[in-house]
Amino acid sequence: MDNKSLPIGVFDSGMGGLTVMRALRTRLPGENLLYLGDTARLPYGTKSADTVTRYALSAAHALTARGIKMLVVACNTVSGQALPALTEALAPLPVIGVIVPGAEAAIAAAHGAPIAVIATEGTVKSGAYVRAIHALAPDLPVVQQAAPLLVPLAEEGLVAGEIARLAAARYLTPLLATVPHPRILVLGCTHFPVLKDTIAQVAGPDVSLVDSAETTARAVEAKLDVLGLCNDGANGRSHFLATDAPDRFSRVGEIFLGAPIDPGNVEVVDL
């Protein structure tokens, strides 16, 4: 198998990263994709940075052992806390996280207006989005809010209705009331795109959402093009690895992928 035909490895702590895989499949239909969800050890968002880094390295090595041409870290917590360690350990393999593409898209859309970020506790504590935004736009106001309840709601499929709306309002109402008022809201967790419609309703028409899954897919496409690694065609294959509960992965994963997942295509691995 030539390098172009090698799969893109996609890693997340669980199933939220399937929103990134969905965006990759839409934008890059010819690419083969190998997804690993560490469902035995989720969530990562409440764990220490050292633990997140250790888990991420073990997952990354499991993917590289199978042969991949790029690693996409489809987890904001890992991107915020372990990306430098992953980049160093896997060099020269290209590694792309979700935070920098999301930050770049937010700055482009903001036109100088304040930016708000909702994410997991780990991502917020790491300050990764604030650093990434201020590295490019030092004077741009950024506020952030951990929104942990949105993760289990997404995994239970409660992405619309009163429960989802109340949970979103709990986090967004005080966040968006800060002065000056944010006009851009970054969905800083890969679980959150499945709640996009509810979040948009609560945020109101004056607030634009930035989906890190879509921005990451664009970054992957650009990197593949620069490296000459694009796989031509329209029939890329997808395979899934999970560290626990493959039946639940297939069932719940469909919410995030936006398409059925064949249980026979989910392989259990031990990290």
- Angle between helix 18-27 and 212-227 (nearest 10): 50
CATH of domain 3-97+214-268: 3.40.50.1860
> CB neighbours of 268 closer than 8 A, spacing ≥ 6?
241, 242, 243, 244, 246
pLDDT at 155 over 90: no
241, exposed or middle or buried, with CB in 10 Å at 0-12, 13-18, 19+? buried
| Ramachandran bin of 161, using left for φ above 0, alpha for ψ from -120 to 50, beta for the remaining angles | left
pLDDT grade for 267, boundaries at 50, 70 and 90: very high
Can you give the pLDDT at residue 1? 56
pLDDT in tens, 56-105: 999 999 999 999 999 999 999 999 999 999 999 999 999 999 999 999 99
Please compute the mean of the pLDDT values over residues 122-126 and round it to a whole number.
90
Enumerate the active-site residues. 75, 189
DSSP-derived 3-state class of residue 197: helix
Can you give the pLDDT at residue 45? 83
Which stretches of the chain are assigned E, i.e. beta strand? 8-12, 33-37, 70-73, 95-97, 115-119, 142-146, 184-188, 208-211, 238-242, 266-268
pLDDT grade for 233, boundaries at 50, 70 and 90: confident
Arithmetic mean of pLDDT over the chain = 95
> CB neighbours of 165 closer than 8 A, spacing ≥ 6?
198, 201, 202
CB 114 within 8 A of CB 140: yes
Closest of 181, 186, 175, 179 to residue 129, by C-alpha: 186
CATH of domain 99-212: 3.40.50.1860
Closest of 235, 236, 238, 261 to residue 248, by C-alpha: 261
Same CATH fold assignment for domains 3-97+214-268 and 99-212: yes
DSSP-assigned beta bridge partners for residue 35 = 10, 240
CB 178 within 8 A of CB 143: yes
pLDDT in tens, 190-214: 999 999 999 999 999 999 999 989 9
- pTM for this structure? 0.93
Provide the residue ranges of all domains of the chain, joining segments of one domain with +. 3-97+214-268, 99-212
